[in-house]
Amino acid sequence: MSNSAIILIIFIGIIIFLIAGIIYAIRSKNTQCSGSFASMAALHDMQTGEKQKAMEVVIEQQSEKKWEEEESGKGKVRSVN
């Protein structure tokens, strides 16, 4: 087998692996719709002072709501055994 054929097989394998990872990430039900911390931090840094304060207030309100749901038991996922 020539070197170009081996490189082509490796390249096709990497592409298949990436496509499978993307499909898994899209179909995964454990992903959060709010985005990751890094993306929120990057968006926060790009905004003006007033918009940064408004984003901080919204994030704090969302975290308080999630905290209250967890304390009351509404946010818990019940498993069926």
pLDDT for the residue numbered 19: 94
Same domain? 25 vs 53: no
pLDDT along the chain (81 residues), means of 10: 89 94 78 64 78 82 77 60 47
| Domain assignment of residue 80, yes or no | no
* Cβ pair 55, 42 in contact under 8 A: no
Nearest partner of 40 among 20, 23, 55, 61, judged by Cα: 55
Full-model pTM: 0.37
- Whether 58 and 65 have beta carbons less than 8 Å apart is answered as no
| pLDDT reported for residue 81 | 47
Is the separation of the CB atoms in 17 and 24 below 8 Å?
A: no
24 lies in some domain: yes
Same domain, 67 and 39: yes
Domain count, the chain: 2
Q: Count H helices, E strands: the chain?
A: 3, 0
Structural domain containing residue 53: 34-74
